[in-house]
Amino acid sequence: MTAPAERMRIMRERRRRRGLRELRLVIPDPRLQSVRKRVAAQVARLDRGSEDEALSFIEAMSEFDATNPSDR
C-alpha cells in the first residue's frame, strides 16, 4: 500500500484533471462558548430590514436561476 502522502497526491492530481481544486476552510469552533456568545452578539446587532431585503434578493435570484435554460 502506498504512503498516505502519496495517496493524497494521487487523489489531488485526479481531482485537478476533473477541474476540481481542494479548498480548506478554517472557521471558529461553534462548540466554544466564547464563539457562541460572539455570534449571538453579532446576530443581535443585525438590522431586520436589511436582512429581509437581502433574503428577498436571494429568493428572487434563486427563482431566476431555476428558469435558466442552460440548467435543462
- Each residue's pLDDT expressed in tens, for the chain with a length of 72 residues: 689 999 999 999 999 999 998 889 999 999 999 999 999 999 999 999 899 999 999 998 887 666 555 554
Q: What are the cell numbers at 25?
A: 476552510
Rg (CA), the chain: 21
Nearest to 40 by CA among 26, 50, 56, 28: 28
- The overall pTM is greater than 0.85: no
H or E element at residue 25? none
Sign of CA dihedral 28, 34, 36, 40: negative
